Amino acid sequence: MTVEQIETFLAKETIPQGKIIRFELKKRNPVRGLIVQGRDYNDLKAKNFWRIVTQTNLAAYQKTQDINLAKIFAGSDFAKLSLVTNKPEDS
């Protein structure tokens, strides 16, 4: 996906409590989590990279706001974004 497509999704979708984003990836299994804005958010976004706190680290991130719990993903690897309930992955 392009930066514009991802920004459009983020602009039109408000993420309610108890929901997270499901990132369908082209060559890997889907990832669930949230995009976080660190100090380097604009630099990463310009290169179509996104800092994502995955579902496994989300509770710890919400307590500590530790940016090191996030991983960087390339937006070009995203196939689809959707909102899902924050519960364990079925597959």
Q: Which residue has the tokens 């060559």?
A: 27
**What does the alpha-carbon distance between residue 21 and residue 14 come to, in Å, rounded to a whole number?**
11
Structural domain spans, the chain: 3-84
Residue 91 pLDDT > 50: no
Q: How confident is the model over 2-17, as pLDDT tens digits?
A: 999 999 999 987 888 8
Q: How confident is the model over 79-90, as pLDDT tens digits?
A: 999 999 988 765
**Against a cut of 0.85, is the pTM above it?**
yes
CB burial of 26-36 (b: ≥16 within 10 Å; e: otherwise) equals eeeeebbbbbe
**Higher pLDDT, residue 17 or 65:** 65
* pLDDT confidence bin for 1, thresholds 50/70/90: very high
Tell me the mean pLDDT in the region 56-83. Answer: 96
Look at the alpha carbons of 10, 16, 17, 23 in this order and tell me if their dihedral is positive or negative: negative
Q: Spelled out in words, what is the top-level CATH class assigned to the domain 3-84?
A: mainly beta
